[in-house]
Structure 1
């Protein structure tokens, strides 16, 4: 395993000292409790935004954020955000801090999606909810103060997986087309075929064994892992997708599949910004109280979004 950044190593030592159990040793209910409890330890205090609002896209709960400095009547670009948590845990609150920062730093509207979780709701429930949320936001853009021509999708980990699938669905016409995809240490191949699964087997919160636990809950039928809606890396073509930011971390079993996804996007004609943090662990964006790099990376993601929204589709730069 690559050497860890000092901040990451200090965090790992804190986890070891606390005796936090591995997620795969817990029931999903227990894992949700442990994950939620870590929020106050790992995340900085949430920043103020101009507005938050609870919404419903049919049966799917959403939370809308408008960045500081935006005016109530201002029409804003939008990021539809899908939270991480291995499709098993995570919710609107666990990623509230990230969404607030992105709304402020990108001076935009962020809509966070509280999709259904496995194992109670296995694949494809999460993607069905994410798709319903995107369609609803696009359909109601004017009422929400959103520019319907500037909707991006994004998410971390499992949420990055869902965002990549939404981008594919938009390209193929079954959803509104997104203008950008922010894929933050995403899962892209649930068959666990990449080499980083053999490298990252112990010593970090997300190991290959932990990932197997998540995947088994989300896709209990192994055959479904070949479906591009579960494993977007297995899509026949990535051509024609919107520009992408793909973040990967070296101490992460998802490292190689994230980097491979970025390489395939570029090879198939998609503009890609690929950012690799070789000495960091999976999930760092929700660990900003202890990992100093998290603040700068969140700012970078916001800058990439702002750049994508800078020139409207079809306009001359």
Structure 2
């Protein structure tokens, strides 16, 4: 069965770029180099690429907060709140809680900052962009617990962030951030604290939802559909080897549903999900399977796939047509999720 194999054919617009990337690919990137690249090079390139789309700074306000992780270590993590300019002093907005990617080993609030400023101003939502301690210095479930601690504070104090959870309470992230978002959606569903403050949506971009060493735990009907880890094992930007290197650093137990949300005992009661999938990505097929499992459990979903685009495509090809489409779809997808909130 090769239901989604056609999605691995390179997008013609970026085929030459992908060829060059493949020629220059030389094994997984060292964590120190990856951190430097994501925090400085990629974020600067993205800001330059999106310069013409960035709203005037008068359209939003930005404030950084340091949050105690609550684990007794005294550690604090950074979260950046981006709030639309208010038409009235007490105006409140839907809340979008964002978690960056970077394979759990790299990344920070600057990675997605320009895109989140655009989303904040265009959709008039309050964005909380959350960092977490990175592996391998801080292994699973540190990142999950850090994000949970910040999210719990935000949900318990929405006025501090000019937010009204009744207008919308969405969690989202890309790659490792997508994994953490899906895991937190499960955790919050079962957490008494969030019974009166339920998530109303999740935006999962190129997420990992199952550790490849746990494929065998799935029923055959789903296991047989997980072919992209091999089909795209040498994909530019993110190969099978690099995926395993990051997982080794993160040390998440493969069968733990907070590592592999696809393996949760139940997916009933989860919030609607907007999922974006890269066709030329080792993680591709698990996103399709996750959507099927969510649907089977009564969860509304919308999934968009980008044929021939690699895992990191929405960053690298921001100025190409595929990058522009990805961002427009993301904005439309968040708008779609907001439609599920009770008092939008």
1:57-76 matched pairs, under 5 angstroms? 57-58=67-68, 59-67=76-84, 73-76=90-93
* Equivalent pair of 2:93/2:164 in contact (CA under 8 Å): yes
Question: What TM-score, normalized by structure 1, do the two folds share?
Answer: 0.89
What is aligned with 2:152? Answer: 135
| Comparing 7-16 and 281-290, the one that deviates more | 7-16
Label 1:71 to 1:282 Cα distance change in 2 as closer, same or farther (>3 A): farther
> Is 1:293 the counterpart of 2:296 in the alignment?
no
| Comparing 62-71 and 173-182, the one that deviates more | 62-71
* Equivalent pair of 1:102/1:298 in contact (CA under 8 Å): no
Structure 2 SS opposite 1:101 = helix
Which of residues 88, 98, 115 is equivalent to 1:81?
A: 98
Which of residues 184, 189, 205 is equivalent to 1:166?
A: 184
For structure 1, list consecutive stretches of 5 or more residues without a partner in the other structure. none
Instruction: Compute the displacement of 1:72 (Å).
Output: 5.5
What is aligned with 2:17? Answer: 11
Give distance in 1, aligned partners of 2:320 and 2:174: 16
Which of residues 277, 281, 295 is equivalent to 2:306?
A: 277
For structure 2, list consecutive stretches of 5 or more residues without a partner in the other structure. 69-75, 216-225
Give distance in 2, aligned partners of 1:14 and 1:291: 16
What is aligned with 2:291? Answer: 262
Structure 2 SS opposite 1:153 = strand
* Equivalent pair of 1:70/1:107 in contact (CA under 8 Å): no
1:149-298 matched pairs, under 5 angstroms? 149=166, 150-173=168-191, 176=194, 177-192=198-213, 193=215, 194-219=226-251, 224-298=253-327
* Equivalent pair of 1:159/1:186 in contact (CA under 8 Å): yes
Instruction: Compute the displacement of 1:294 (Å).
Output: 2.0
> Is 1:52 the counterpart of 2:62 in the alignment?
yes
* Equivalent pair of 2:22/2:236 in contact (CA under 8 Å): no
Give distance in 2, aligned partners of 1:228 and 1:174: 19
Give distance in 2, aligned partners of 1:255 and 1:70: 42
Instruction: Compute the displacement of 1:107 (Å).
Output: 1.8
What is aligned with 1:115? Answer: 132
Label 1:61 to 1:71 Cα distance change in 2 as closer, same or farther (>3 A): farther
Give distance in 1, aligned partners of 2:281 and 2:290: 15
Instruction: Compute the displacement of 1:16 (Å).
Output: 5.3
Instruction: Compute the displacement of 1:173 (Å).
Output: 1.9
Q: Deviations over 1:142-168 (max 9, x none)?
A: 122100222110011110011111111
Give distance in 1, aligned partners of 2:12 and 2:132: 34
Structure 2 SS opposite 1:38 = helix
1:87-106 matched pairs, under 5 angstroms? 87-106=104-123
Give distance in 1, aligned partners of 2:19 and 2:43: 17
* Equivalent pair of 1:178/1:242 in contact (CA under 8 Å): yes
Give distance in 2, aligned partners of 1:185 and 1:311: 22
Give distance in 2, aligned partners of 1:7 and 1:104: 30
Structure 1 SS opposite 2:212 = coil
Give distance in 2, aligned partners of 1:101 and 1:64: 13
Q: Deviations over 1:274-298 (max 9, x none)?
A: 1122221112222344432222222
* Equivalent pair of 2:235/2:281 in contact (CA under 8 Å): no
